[in-house]
Structure formats: C-alpha cells, structure tokens
Structure 1
Amino acid sequence: MHSDFTMKLLYLSGFNKLRLFNGKAKGYAEFINAKKRVPAYADFLDSQEFSYPSFNGLVPNLSEIPLMDKVNYIKKYKLEERCLNGKIPNKNVVIDESSGSSGTATNWARGKYERQVNAKMIAFGMRNLFGDSPVFIINAFALGAWATGVNITMSCVKFAKIKSTGPDKIKIAHTINDFGKNHQYIIMGYPPFLKSLVDEVNIDWRELDVSFILGGESMAEEMRDYLIKKGIKKIYSSLGASDLELNLAAENDFTISLRRLLRSNELLRKRILNYDGAMPMVFQYNPADFLIDVRENGELVFTICRSGYISPKINYNIYDKGHVLQYQELLAICKELNIDEGQLIKSKTDLPILFHYGRADMTVSFYGANISPVDIQEVIYSLPKLVETVHSFHIQTLEDEQGDKGLVIALETNERKGALDANVPELQQAFFNNLANINQDFREARKMLSSVNQIQIVFYAFAEGPFSDADIRIKAKYVD
C-alpha cells in the first residue's frame, strides 16, 4: 500500500522502460505463483503441454504462455479451483458476478488485499482528475451482485460521500434535489444511461457542479460534446472488465485532448490509428500493474502483475481490439507531422497510450464492411434530430429469399417520445451518408447494393420491438 507521494513517484516521466521491465518481472512471478499454487492453472498448463517461457536476457517472453479466456479456463474450472490453494478464503472475500450480457453471469472472487489496492488507486486517480475538494459520488451502476456496482461502492466510501442508487433516474434526481447545489457531484454509470438521465430528468445541469465517470462501453467524442453543452462539467471514461479489474486504464485531460486532435487531424489519424471506423477510446495505463500484449489480430491480452490476487490472471484474452503507443513515440510522430505539441494538454506522466476499439466480436459484417456499435453511436451524435430522441439502437443483418443481404438499424426513442415515422427519406439518407463518412469499408460496400432498400433505419417506441427485453441493469446489447 503506497502513499500519494509514493504513487506520484511511480508515475514520474522518464521511467516507463523501468515500469515495463518491472511489469514483466512481476508477471513472471505471478505465473510461477499460479503454476505452483492454483490447481486449475497447473492443469491448464499441463493440458497445453507448457512448462516455462524462454528468456531474452533477463526479460521473460511472457507471450509464449498459453492464452486463457472465459471458455477455456473460467467455464472449464470451478471458482475454487481457480483460487490460490484451490479454495476460496473464508473471510474478507467479496463474491460478485459479471452482468451476463454475453451469456450466463459468471462468479468472481476478490480478496481483501486486491480490493484495498484497487480502492487506493481509484482514490489517487480521482484526486488527480477532480482535485482535493470533497466529492459526492452517485453510483448509478447496477447494484446487487453485479461486479462494478458492488466494487465501486466499496472502493469510494473511504474518500467520498457516496450514495448507490443504481440506474434509477428518479432516485438520482431526488438525491440531487434533496442535497442541493453545494456539492461537487460525480455520477458513475453506463454511457447510454447517463445520456438518458440528462435528457429525461427535469434538472438544469448548468446550475450544478456535476461530472460523469463512464464505464462499461465506449462513447463517441460527440457524446462528450453533447453532455458538456447540457451542463455536465467533466466527463471521463474508464476501461475495466469484470474478469480482470475495475480500472485497467483511464482517460485524463491529456488523452481526451489527443482524441480530439485525432478527430480534427486526418494526417495524425492515418499515421496512428490501425482500424477504419469510429474513433477508438484513448487511455493511459500502468504496465507495472497491467501488462497488455497486442496480438497480430489486434486482440488485447492482459496479465495482472499486482501480487495478492486470490485468482491470478496471466495472458487473459477478453477479446477487445486495440493497440499501444508509447508516449515518446507520439511526440516523435507529432514532430514528424509538424503538429504543435501545444495542441495537446501536457501529460503528467509518460505512461503508454492504449487505443481501444471495443469488443472484437461486437461488429456485424455487411458486404465485407465491419460495422461496430461505436460507428452507429457516432452517426447518431452527428444528427441533431436523433441526439435528442434516440435512447438506444440495435444492429442487425438480414438475408432475403434471393440471398440479398440487408442492414437494419433499429432506433429506440426515449421514454418521453412516441414511435417516430421511420420513412423519412432525408433522415435515412443523412444517416447512411454519415456512416459512409465514418466507415470507409461501408462506403465501398454501399456501392455494391442493388437497391437502396437493402439499408434502412427503423424507429421503435421505448421498450418495444427488439428493445422489449432490455435490462437497464446491464450493458446494452447492440448486436445479436
């Protein structure tokens, strides 16, 4: 456990190579520990006929260690078998579960030490983002056994006033009205819920000091613009995974300025970004705590390097897509392109930069074009008629009797709106024109269509059609 002063030393610029080496050394130590003490992991390695990674000098080649994921490891072995010494400790352990948005919910066990370290890091990060003034946190993540809701409350209670309302707009409105304007509020939740909170609750956000911390899924930069115009003071996103940890990587003022520069500078986008489509999220992370190995297919593989976790994760694939850029590499690219560094807010540290494109399996394929939820979100925020109206969306591809494929974007209106006329030619044309501007592959795919009717948007009233079974407690399901 470190003091704030010690942690600031850990993040000093100029030491990222040392942090990376430290992460690899700690990752190897976690591998040895798990191999000896975790029955499931020992069996997993035996099944893969793997003993030890090779070394390049003093550096272990951790990428040689077999990949684990939810299918070949989590679902194959019982929770007890995945814990140190093959059992769940009898006290100081929290059992939570993932939302089950990709299938059946999964149980996770988190010990006292790992919860303490994570809480300390969250407190340190919050002070860096919001200063030392008191904060009133409203936890709008799903409560009950859900991993994020449970752990956010426990992590924040030591440094803030916190009320855990869950995703309940009426409770949040009552809380703000009851406690008044003399608080610095930070509301945490999923992006679609917080957007609907701003749209549908009768509160003048401009009169309050309210900031958002978003998690669970990506958001378009246009959403940040929209929410700030509505009166939200600051908006930051965090990358977490129930499988691993709440806060693997995070936005800050520097990464937001970089994302905005990428949005406005085509040369920089072409030089840095690896994939076509909507803008990736941009985070920084500490490789001494979480090693990220980017595979050839762009999938991100994580190793938790912190000691003391009762269920170690080494080379764990959550099937997110992205890539990593070192901070000094970014500065060199900006210099090469004659980009004034003054266009970026100076980073407080030289931690590596993670470009996160979302789930590798959260896309639909249409005439060779991979269309992601973030693409659709960005289109919605580019059209004022939709921003105020749309609560959620769903992407579906169909095939008719002649074998022609169709792309249908279902748009759910918010609770204050009724079903809208889906046959608005101007709106439909604008929607797919903007999608073509965002996604180059779709621009080419559209040229192959034999009929304009193969692509369409369809409006549904709130909680109707494909949205009738939506569960507000968990992340939205945008793709079948």
Structure 2
Amino acid sequence: MRILWWLQELLVDLLGRSPRTHALLLAPGFERLRWWLGRRRAQRTVARTVRRVPAYRSFLAEQGVSTTAFADLPETDKRSYIARWPIPERCVGGRLPRRGVVVDESSGSTGTPTSWVRGPVERRASREVLRVGFLRHATPDRPVFVINAFSLGAWATGMNVTAALTRVSTIKSTGPDRDKIINTMREFGPGYTYVITSYPPFLKGLLEDDRLDWAAYDVVCAFGGEGISEGMRDHVLRRARKVIGAYGASDLEISIAVETEFTIALRRAIAADPALARALTRQDQYGVLPDIFQFNPYAYLIEENDDGELVVTITRPQNVDPRIRYNIHDRGHVLRMRDVLPVLRRSGLQTVLDERVLDLPLLLQYGRSDHAVDHNGAVVPPDGVRDAVAADPELVAAVENHRLVSYEDRAGDRQLHLALQLAEGRTLADPAAAAHRLLAAMRRANRDLDHAIATGAPGTAPTVGVYPFRTGVFADDGGRLKNEYVWILDADGAEAAGLDPQVVAPRPCVA
C-alpha cells in the first residue's frame, strides 16, 4: 500500500508541473474521488507529522492526545502552536533544510513579525493554483505580463506571487506604485495580457488613473488580501476585462482557493435573490455576502468547527512546516457541488450553471471570526484601538468605548473609520491631536496597517471621529447589552449611521 501512495504522489507531482497536464488533475467528473483521496492523504500526512515533527508531538502530548485519528485531533492556531515552538522544531525532522527554503513574514495585528518557511514543493503548488486562478484568463494570442503590485520586501503575498509566477510569465514586481505600473505598461505596449495583482482598493484607484488609455490594453486584475464587493468589481470592470480573486493566508498558503467564472456568477445570483441566499449561505446569520471560491480537496481538507470557523489541513506531505487542523479564525463553510447544483436547477439559474467548468467544492468565507476588519490588505482588530487608547493618558481617562467602522463610500472605495465615544461629560483638549496620537500608536503596533496606509490609494486613509456620549454611531448604545466593536456597512448604511470623520490621518508614522 505504501508503494501505491508513493506512486500516487509521484504521478500528481509530475502532472502538476505543466499547465496542460495539471488540467488533468482538475478534470470534471472526479470530484468524489478527489474528496476521498484528499481525506486519506490528510490522514497519512498527520501520521507522518506525528512521527517526524517534534513540536507537533509535544503539542499532542500537552493536549493528552495519543491517537492519530483525524476526528480526535485538537485544532492548532498561531497562539497555541506557532508562537510556542521555534521554527526548526515545527519542521519535518526537527530542523530547517539548508537549501530550497524561502522565508517570508507577516506581522498581523501584534506588531511582532512572524516568519513562515516554505519549501520547493509547496511553492510549486501555489504556482499551480495561481495558474488556474489568474493566468488561464489571458487572451490566447497574447503573452502574459504579470505586474505584481502587492507590497514587496519580506511580506508574504508579494514575495510569493513573484516566486510563483516567474517561471510561467514575464513579471515585474513594482509594488503598489501607480507611476511605475503606468510607465511600465507604456514602455512595453499593448501587445500583452497584463495581469495586475494587488489589493482591491489599489486596483480600483489604479484603473481610475486617466494617464493611460486603458481601452488599448488587455487587463486582468487579480486581487487578494481582502474581499471585494460586486459594486467595486463592476467599477473595475469598466476598464479591466476580468477581476478575479484568491483566498489564502500567510499562516497557510497564499492561494488555497480561487474565484472562477462560476463562483462570481453564483455570488451575483445570491446577492440578487434572498431565497437563494437562504438556501446556500449564512448571510442572515453573519450579515455579509460571503466571498465564494473553489478549492482542490485533494490538496486542502477544510472543515468548519462548532464556532463556524474554518479549520484547514494542508494534505501535502512534502511541506517543510506542516499545518494540521489549523484555525485562521475566519468564518465560513464548504459546499459540495452535488449539493449546490440541484438548488441552482430548481431556481432556474441556467446562466450560472453555464459558467461551470470545474466541479471543485465551494468555500464560502464571511470574514474574520475575531471581528477584525481588513484595510488595504492589513488586518485591523478592535483590540488595536483599545490598546492604543489604554496607552494614552488623556484618551484612557476620557473615552468610554470605541468602534471600527468599515464601509464602502459612494465612489466604491472601502473606507476605515475609527470611532471613539467620550464618556458622559468628558471632553478632549485637542481632539485632532489626540486622534493623530491614536493612529500613530496603532501604526507603530501594527506594521501591516502602517504599510497599508503608506501605500494606500489617495482618499482611503483611515479617519478618526471623536463623538460625545451617545451621539453619532453610538446613539443607540444605551439599549444594547454588549458593546459592538465592529460595523461593516454599505454606502447607504454609512450615510444613515451618522459617521463624522472629523480627522483624516495623513501624517506619517513616527517610529
């Protein structure tokens, strides 16, 4: 049996090295087989991890778990597992390989960078998923020119996009720099399919720049880091031919799942049909339209825990630093195609069914379970506001509570508003100065936020509002049992909420 599994891994590895042969691995009609093999593969990877990864053995021992039965394994996450053991102990064999490893990092909301190590097999796997998600949308008679406008340096997404796509395209890593991108496209001309990768707000701002005749260029926008509304997608589609997203996490891999024509059509249908939304989603429970992706169940085993969070196991046995039942604290669930298609047929949605090419399962994602919000690719938790307030003597004495308000304005831009409610009868000597101190403290503590503000599109810098007691966005707080620390609103909701963005925050962060 071991020889058969080894031959299976070898066959998958060989087929995955070419875009043409990789398509065979995703051929329709084999969804049930991929699902079954993925679970068997995950079980074998668990057994291998227990045998060969010292940190995971210690983790299970702490939890009092002596079995490798998948259903009995505890969840892991950054706090319970990653932060508690050094990288070599989390690696296969208890050591970091000397060659072939790429290290990238994320700082998340803690301000302390976390390094992630990736070996050659997992980097190749990311390249294969990005091919499926992005490069197959190129016009057949045009070469592909990738412009990587994600943040560069050691940041996980930008670094991995460049590494993944270098061998299969012409690529220039500009970072989020409009001038460089426009100058590059002028210099190389309109004979390419330009795949521009970045966060949605940057892509929107770039394609609004009138210095380039966008109609003369074939442009595919590929986004990650945060979701996109269908309104913003339509806005970008005025000048781009396609707008496609991917789902991933630096904790895991940058491209676990991708949007397809089918998932986009399905999401639009769900947005327009409350009955379809009730049949397929938990939109009523979470209050947001889910992002919808497709993923390969042979490569990723994705579960939902009792709290509605996604728990991911990378089934690939060759990963340097394995992830077993890893909780990234995103809310979501998985739907099999066999469950979705009958609903669509009963609803008469033939136009959606016509878009189906891949029979891969669906991943529906509703945002973060820790109530953080995304801003230009940065994760901003409400606790970041709390900590900044607590560290400021004037604010901690005067502020009753706080709220993050993420909303889309009438221009389609995603905005972030930091709302502070003053305690009854309290005032601030200089609200503008206090607001700037607050944001500066948050930027110092959260390097991702600092970078997001520094590279964000004009007009999308976070704003800070200081509200007297029980006014504005806090007007109804007295009737609530618990504080609400996050609001996610559309343009109508933002106008109705009484937002008062008194202070725009253009000042640079002072380290």
> For 1:394, which of 392, 417, 428 is the aligned residue?
417
**CA apart distance, 1:280:** 1.2
CA-to-aligned-CA distance 1:193-216 (integer Å, 9 cap, x gap)? 222222346223223211110001
What is the 5 A alignment of 1:332-343? Answer: 332-336=342-346, 338-343=347-352
> For 1:236, which of 241, 244, 251 is the aligned residue?
244
**Unmatched runs of 5 consecutive residues or more in structure 1:** 55-61, 366-370, 423-428, 433-440, 447-451, 472-480
Corresponding letter in the other structure for 2:67: Y
Question: Is the contact made by 1:320 and 1:357 (CA closer than 8 Å) also made in structure 2?
Answer: yes
Decide whether aligned partners of structure 1 residues 251 and 391 sit closer, same or farther in structure 2, where only a CA change above 3 A counts. Answer: closer
SS in 1 for 2:55: helix
Give the distance between the partners of 2:245 and 2:349, measured in 1 at CA: 26
Q: How much is the aligned-residue C-alpha RMSD, in angstroms? A: 3.6
Task: Quote the residue 1:160 is aligned against.
Answer: 169
What is the 5 A alignment of 1:21-420? Answer: 21-54=36-69, 62-130=70-138, 132=140, 133-200=142-209, 202-229=211-238, 231-274=239-282, 275-336=285-346, 338-363=347-372, 376-377=406-407, 379-380=408-409, 383=410, 386-387=411-412, 392-396=415-419, 398=421, 400-401=423-424, 415=458
Corresponding letter in the other structure for 1:458: P
**CA apart distance, 1:401:** 2.3
Q: Percent identity, aligned pairs only? A: 35
**CA apart distance, 1:244:** 0.8
So what's the TM-score if we normalise by structure 1? 0.78
Give the distance between the partners of 1:181 and 1:454, measured in 2 at CA: 45
**CA apart distance, 1:14:** 2.9
Corresponding letter in the other structure for 1:23: G
Question: Is the contact made by 1:139 and 1:165 (CA closer than 8 Å) also made in structure 2?
Answer: yes
Aligned residues: 419
**CA apart distance, 1:53:** 4.2
**CA apart distance, 1:453:** 11
Give the distance between the partners of 1:416 and 1:334, measured in 2 at CA: 40
CA-to-aligned-CA distance 1:401-430 (integer Å, 9 cap, x gap)? 289xxxx9x9x996379999x9xxxxxx9x
SS in 2 for 1:195: helix
Give the distance between the partners of 1:139 and 1:418, measured in 2 at CA: 22
Question: Is the contact made by 1:463 and 1:469 (CA closer than 8 Å) also made in structure 2?
Answer: no
Task: Quote the residue 2:499 is aligned against.
Answer: 456
SS in 1 for 2:356: coil
Question: Is the contact made by 1:304 and 1:312 (CA closer than 8 Å) also made in structure 2?
Answer: yes
Decide whether aligned partners of structure 1 residues 111 and 458 sit closer, same or farther in structure 2, where only a CA change above 3 A counts. Answer: same
Decide whether aligned partners of structure 1 residues 316 and 131 sit closer, same or farther in structure 2, where only a CA change above 3 A counts. Answer: farther
CA-to-aligned-CA distance 1:73-129 (integer Å, 9 cap, x gap)? 110000111111111111111111124345322011111222223323433444433
SS in 2 for 1:148: helix
Give the distance between the partners of 1:457 and 1:106, measured in 2 at CA: 36
Give the distance between the partners of 1:135 and 1:280, measured in 2 at CA: 30
Decide whether aligned partners of structure 1 residues 48 and 276 sit closer, same or farther in structure 2, where only a CA change above 3 A counts. Answer: closer
Question: Is the contact made by 2:92 and 2:320 (CA closer than 8 Å) also made in structure 1?
Answer: yes
Give the distance between the partners of 1:161 and 1:264, measured in 2 at CA: 39
Decide whether aligned partners of structure 1 residues 158 and 454 sit closer, same or farther in structure 2, where only a CA change above 3 A counts. Answer: closer
SS in 2 for 1:456: coil
